[in-house]
Amino acid sequence: MLDNFRQYLIDQGLATATEVHANVCDGSDACIVLWEYGGYKSPIGVTSSISAVQIKVLDTDMSAARTKINAIYDNLVDGKAFKLINNTKANIFANTPPFYSGQDEQTRYSYIFNVNIVTERN
């Protein structure tokens, strides 16, 4: 799921391939990290599954981090019925709005928000 979601952000022009990572935070001055922290695959006979994902933007420039997280949030949580992620229909629901979570050990400013992504199973 995270690889498809990562590619969606790249395709939408919200991130570059070197900027966005799944489950790992690199040492660059600016990066976007996607963490899948929950969800479930539906049992046989049910056609959807849910992934709980955290989107985290880190940047040494606080304003740049805030601008990036808000652009991603506005794209994902825009009130449309669904997004097409890797040819799979996905409904995205915000669990939290973007919020400032402090600075990391590299003094990068960190902004985070959480979403549930409901996808149709093929």
- SS3 assignment for 68-108: HHHHHHHHHCCCCCCEEECCEEEEEEECCCCEEEEECCCCC
pLDDT at 40: 63
Percent residues over pLDDT 70 in the chain: 91
- Cα–Cα distance for residue pair 36/92, rounded to 1 Å: 14
How many structural domains does the chain have? 1
pLDDT at 119: 85
Question: In this predicted model, what pLDDT tens digit does every residue of 22-41 receive, in sequence order?
Answer: 888 888 899 999 998 876 66
- pTM: predicted TM-score of the whole model, two decimal places: 0.88
Range of the domain at 116: 2-120
Q: What is the token pair recorded at 1?
A: 């799921």
**Contact call for residues 2 and 53 (beta carbons, < 8 A):** yes
CATH of the domain at 78: 3.30.2000.10
Question: In this predicted model, what pLDDT tens digit does every residue of 65-111 receive, in sequence order?
Answer: 999 999 999 999 987 778 888 888 888 999 999 999 999 999 999 99
Q: What is the mean pLDDT of residues 53-70?
A: 97
